[in-house]
Amino acid sequence: MRLHDQPALTAAAAAGGPVIPVFILDDDGPDRWAMGAAGRWWLHESLVALDKDLRKRGSRLVLARGPALDVLADLARETDARAIYWSRAYEPWALKLERDLPRALESSGVRCRRFSGQLLIEPEEIATASGDPYRVFTPFYKACLNAGEPDAIVPAPPVLPPVPDAVDSDKLQSWKLQPSGPDWAGGLAAAWTPGEAGALARLDEFLDTGLAGYERTRDRPDREGTSRLSAHLRFGEISPRQIWHGVQKAANKSGGKAGAGAGAEGFLRQLLWREFSAHLLFHWPHILHSPFRNGFSAFPWRDDETALLAWQRGKTGYPVVDAGMRELLATGWIHNRVRMIVASFLVKDLLVPWQRGEEWFRDTLVDAELASNAANWQWVAGCGADAAPYGRIFNPVLQGKKFDPQGAYVKAWIPELAKLPKSHIHSPWRAPEKTLAKAGVALGEGYPAPIVDHKLARERALEAFAVVRGRAG
Ligand SMILES: Cc1cc2nc3c(=O)[nH]c(=O)nc-3n(C[C@H](O)[C@H](O)[C@H](O)COP(=O)(O)OP(=O)(O)OC[C@H]3O[C@@H](n4cnc5c(N)ncnc54)[C@H](O)[C@@H]3O)c2cc1C
């Protein structure tokens, strides 16, 4: 969804003939992990932006819906296309499509050309000394750094040939990607600017004001300490290579350790977590639905719809958890530290299967990306590759105190608690009656009392883990 650093488009334009930029919405098949509501909102906005950017260069975006292979075959036949150019993807159905396309089209003289664009390092380019895929992040990270600098950025083609008038396009509105509830879309629109221009502006702002302090503030949900580039990356509005080079340039300008140099290393490490997730999905596609570690299939999860609903709505009684889940509903995004806290709460305090959390995130996050979402959920649950040890169960009160020390994050998302002093903001149930009354808090009436006792829930989780210990390896 971008024109800069888009090698497939640049190669197509360089070939000299007409170029038909086409976006296919292929979301009907049974094996699809359908895009969630927040993602569909973003997609709509991003398609509008991409079409505008193409028109500025003399082209336009063609929209089509249906099985991608059939749509492409029809379009190639109707337009007498000589080649199809695309950026590769790593989801299981994308891998299948990339295998099927040449088989279906090359016999009729259509060349199929696949390009990199989503990742810094292709999964086939990186392996352990014995040739196996990496299962552990740190050696993967080191190998990526040793692989050297990513290639230079490819500039956007300044002009593109017009799309012939005879080529039909669906009307975007007819896809109904936007949610019917205007309130929710309003919250998303207030928080984000989808599209390539929005992505580039976000990167610039982060390089100017966020990178230098990244290591200090990236764990603080009460600060704007991270880049918020994840959804732009997910929709390909910016390439990881543009981010990588932008960060390096800012760090070099600031001269090594001081300023941006200090944040660059930590930030690029996070960018490589994204690569690691894609690498895991490519080699172990089952991580989308099943534990990376086999032994975990016997884990005694609880089927607790009431608890799940309380978690989804931000009504667990644990302020930092609820603030995170309300931030998610309001803006389609949660800070990474809080994602870990809310995920730990769901799978460990409530013993709800991680797949239910993954599903909810997939529906509500604007950056929902299959690989990163599943890999991170499994990491928190303790069943993923290189996962957090199962016994590491976040205490939501201590996490709140540590990463939101003034309670500003909680107060921003839970107005019911806005007047509570910071000493009680992360555990209102421990506040004296008088303090609660003064702050206008009636636990259980407005803001809920805790739905579980964390201490007991922790013991229950450890007992549950004992069932699979040994088998989980
Ligand atoms: C349970 C859970 C689910 C998650 N689901 C997703 C998801 O669906 N999509 C998604 O992009 N990220 C996901 N993450 C990872 C992370 O929380 C987000 O990438 C990050 O919060 C995005 O904000 P940012 O762009 O400001 O991050 P920054 O801190 O600015 O990081 C820069 C970029 O690095 C990448 N990144 C950072 N941390 C991670 C990570 N742990 N794993 C993979 N990539 C990372 C992202 O692309 C991010 O934009 C999840 C984390 C958890 C704990």
Cα–Cα separations (whole angstroms), residue 98 to 19, 60, 76, 294, 428: 20, 25, 16, 29, 54
Pocket test for ligand 1, best of 137, 144, 230 (most atoms within 8 A of CB): 230
pLDDT, position 426 = 98
pLDDT, position 196 = 98
Give the ligand 1 atom nearest the CA of 377: 1
Q: How far apart are CA 238 and CA 5, in angstroms?
A: 8
Q: How far apart are CA 271 and CA 261, in angstroms?
A: 16
The CATH architecture that domain 7-117 belongs to is 3-Layer(aba) Sandwich (3.40)
Helix, coil or strand: residue 86: strand
Taking the mean position of all CA atoms in its chain, how far away is CA 132? 26
Mean pLDDT for the stretch of residues 410-420: 97
Mean pLDDT for the stretch of residues 264-269: 94
pLDDT, position 119 = 98
Q: Which residue, among 279, 260, 194, 258, has the nearest Cα to 230 in the 3D structure?
A: 194
pLDDT tens digit string along 111-152?
999 999 999 999 999 999 999 999 999 999 999 999 999 999
Higher pLDDT: 473 or 225? It is 225
Q: How far apart are CA 397 and CA 376, in angstroms?
A: 22
Centroid of ligand 1 to alpha carbon of 361 (angstroms): 12
Centroid of ligand 1 to alpha carbon of 6 (angstroms): 23
- The CATH code for residues 294-468 is 1.10.579.10
Centroid of ligand 1 to alpha carbon of 228 (angstroms): 9
Domain ranges of the chain: 7-117, 118-153+190-283, 294-468
Give the ligand 1 atom nearest the CA of 228: 26
Nearest Cα residue to atom 23 of ligand 1: 228
Distance spanning both ends of the chain, measured CA to CA: 41
27 close to 91: Cβ distance less than 8 angstroms: no
pLDDT tens digit string along 61-99?
999 999 999 999 999 999 999 999 999 999 999 999 999
Q: Where are the beta strands (DSSP E) in 12-125?
A: 22-25, 62-65, 83-87, 111-115
Centroid of ligand 1 to alpha carbon of 278 (angstroms): 12
Residue 63 backbone dihedrals phi, psi, to 5 degrees: -110, 135
**pLDDT interval class at 30 (50, 70, 90):** low
Centroid of ligand 1 to alpha carbon of 39 (angstroms): 15
461 close to 382: Cβ distance less than 8 angstroms: no
**Token couple for 414:** 């839970």
Q: Is the pLDDT of residue 392 over 90?
A: no
pLDDT tens digit string along 175-207?
999 987 667 888 999 999 999 999 999 999 999
Residue 101 backbone dihedrals phi, psi, to 5 degrees: -55, -55
**pLDDT interval class at 473 (50, 70, 90):** very low
**Token couple for 349:** 């305090």
Q: What is the residue-averaged pLDDT of the chain?
A: 94
Give the ligand 1 atom nearest the CA of 240: 47
Question: Could you check whether 118-153+190-283 and 294-468 share the same CATH topology?
Answer: no
Q: What is the CATH T-level fold of the domain 118-153+190-283, as seen in this structure?
A: 1.25.40
Helix, coil or strand: residue 218: coil
List, in sequence order, every residue forming a beta bridge with 25; answer none if it has no partner. Answer: 65
Q: What is the pTM of this model?
A: 0.97
Residues in contact with 289: Cβ distance below 8 Å, sequence separation at least 6, in sequence order: 355, 374
Lowest mean pLDDT among 39-43, 319-323, 381-385, 427-431: 381-385
- Ligand 1 binding pocket, CB closer than 6 Å: 218, 226-230, 233-234, 270-271, 273-274, 277, 336, 339-340, 343, 361, 365, 367-369, 372-373, 376-377, 380
Centroid of ligand 1 to alpha carbon of 272 (angstroms): 10
pLDDT, position 160 = 96
